[in-house]
Amino acid sequence: MTYQYWDTHLETMSREDLTACQVALLRKTVSAALRTPFYRKPLAAAGIRGEESVTSLSDLKRLPFTTKHDLRSGFPYGFLSIPQERVVRLHASSGTTGTPTTIYFSKDDITRWTGFVARSIYGTGCTRFDVFQNMITYGLFTGGLGFHSGGEEVGMTVIPSGAGNTTRQFRLMQDFGTTVVHATPSFLLHLESKMREEGVDRSRLRLKRAFAGAEPYSEDTRARIEELLGIDVYNSYGLSEMNGPGVAFECQRKDGLHLWEDGFIPEIIHPDTLEPVPDGEIGELVLTCLCREATPILRYRTRDLTGFYAEPCGCGRTHRRIQRIKGRTDDMLIINGVNLFPSQIEEVIMSIKEVGNNYLIVVEKDGALDRLTVKTEVNQAIFRDDTRPLNALKERIRKTLQASITINPKVELHESGSLPVSEGKATRVLDSRAASRL
């Protein structure tokens, strides 16, 4: 197989050149950081006075970590390093606690960001002959405009359809011959259910590829979407603190995500000791943004759990690969003392073929103990007068889950289309325990 590179020089640089490039960009980023109200003090305390204080990558560990909490406490301008008249755009993510984190961009920042997204898209085999339907939320969320600009940069015909409204999405796909889509994995699964419900003829669509990201999903979910829709699904990883999409992306080998090291310095650390973990082991991803002058962010603790691949990728790109995100340090559930990531449950249920495309994990207090309920959708056909097949399936799901997560869950089966669907990132966990402790 031949692989297409957007920028052969940048994507296949030797490790030595990549390191030199990172050091040069880190120096610039540090001087930008010294111009922000937030970083001035901690950098001075670490003896960093200007770009001359950074001479190699080992200086990275002298720089402070940055957390979501820091970004919130710096709202609105604590991380701004250029005058307002040079800022051409901002994006914000409100998260769950309300206070937004805001990222500002200069014109050059937008150009650089667009370049990383274009590189990612092109690396999956897309060209200007593709028609790209961007089925994700536009607005302050970065997925909309980020992919939009990257798609245009590649020269694809971009349809800014936004999220939701499956009927209109099908119409657009048919009218304009969409070949590529971008959506959350949960929306892609929802789309497929709706497709069958609305009787959309798959053979009349030209769809062949999807970018799926913004939320964690398992390898089994990818396989399911690929099989049901008959397309290739590429994993896309990004976060608003690091621009948005275009941080790490799968190439056509679909074996780990290349993290663009000429734009970001990745570290993977143990979340408690803050020391790097050995290659291949799972830890928290920490990222330093090297490609943004307006809002420099140093050693950002993403809370996302992943590991590096030790071996280089067969596609020839030299940028290191990270594994599919396993979960977040903060979405870990502790159920009767057992640690559990929602992704472990997803892995199990998506591998059971009778299980539908949507599910919900509910955790409640049951007296002093915690109770885990896994609600999944199943095909309508099974809800017949005879309840035996239904009960047998329920029991099989329960046993398979218990064997894998060591917790005995209650399993509920629901008719397909009856569990709530969200347009943006899916809500997969309802944990009422905190409220019942009040």
Q: Give the footprint of ligand AMP on this chain (CB under 6 A).
A: 93, 142, 213-216, 235-240, 244, 302, 304, 325, 328
| Gyration radius (Cα) of the chain, Å | 23
Contact between 259 and Zn ion by CB under 5 A: the answer reads no
251 belongs to the binding site for Zn ion (CB under 5 A): yes
What φ, ψ does residue 122 adopt, rounded to 5°?
Answer: -65, -35
Minimum distance between the CB of residue 387 and ligand AMP, rounded to whole angstroms?
Answer: 37
Nearest approach in angstroms of CB 437 to ligand AMP is 26
* 313 binds, options ligand AMP, Zn ion, none, Cβ within 5 to 8 A by partner type: Zn ion
Which of helix, strand or coil describes residue 180?
Answer: strand
Q: Does 313 bind Zn ion (CB under 5 A)?
A: yes
Binds 251, which of Zn ion, ligand AMP, none (CB < 5 to 8 A, cut-off by type)? Zn ion
- How many chain residues interact with Zn ion (CB under 5 A)? 5
With CB under 5 to 8 Å by kind, the binding choice for 322 among Zn ion, ligand AMP, none is none
Q: Does 315 bind Zn ion (CB under 5 A)?
A: yes
Task: Render 393-437 in DSSP notation, one character per residue.
Answer: HHHHHHHHHHHHHSS--EEEEEETT-S---SSS---EEE-HHHHH
Choose among Zn ion, ligand AMP, none what residue 315 binds, the Cβ cut-off being 5 to 8 Å by kind: Zn ion
Angle between helices 219-229 and 185-197 (to 10 degrees): 30
What lies within 8 Å, CB to CB, of 265 at 6+ separation is 22, 26, 57, 60, 287, 288, 290
Smaller CB separation from ligand AMP, 29 or 240: 240
CB 268 within 8 A of CB 283: yes
Nearer to ligand AMP, 17 or 331 (CB): 331
Least Cβ distance, residue 93 to ligand AMP (angstroms): 4
219-229 vs 342-350: helix crossing angle, rounded to 10: 40
Q: x/- site string to Zn ion, residues 199 to 238, per CB under 5 A?
A: ----------------------------------------
Q: 176, exposed or middle or buried, with CB in 10 Å at 0-12, 13-18, 19+?
A: middle
**Please, what is the Cα angle at 215 between 212 and 219, to 5 degrees?**
60
The structure tokens 């800014």 sit at 160
When CB distances are held under 5 to 8 angstroms depending on the partner's kind, the choice from Zn ion, ligand AMP, none that residue 214 binds is: ligand AMP
Least distance from ligand AMP to the Cβ atom of residue 1, Å: 23
CA angle at residue 26 from 22 to 28, to 5 degrees?
125
Q: How far is the CB of 243 from ligand AMP (least distance, A)?
A: 9
- Nearer to ligand AMP among residue 43 and residue 348 (C-beta): 348
Residue 304's binding partner out of Zn ion, ligand AMP, none, with CB under 5 to 8 Å set by partner kind: ligand AMP
318's tokens: 């030299």
Beta-bridge partners for 411? 374
User: Interacting stretch for Zn ion, rule CB under 5 A, among 45-53, 89-97, 313-321, 420-428?
Assistant: 313-321
Provide the binding-site residues for Zn ion, judged by CB under 5 A: 251, 253, 313, 315, 317
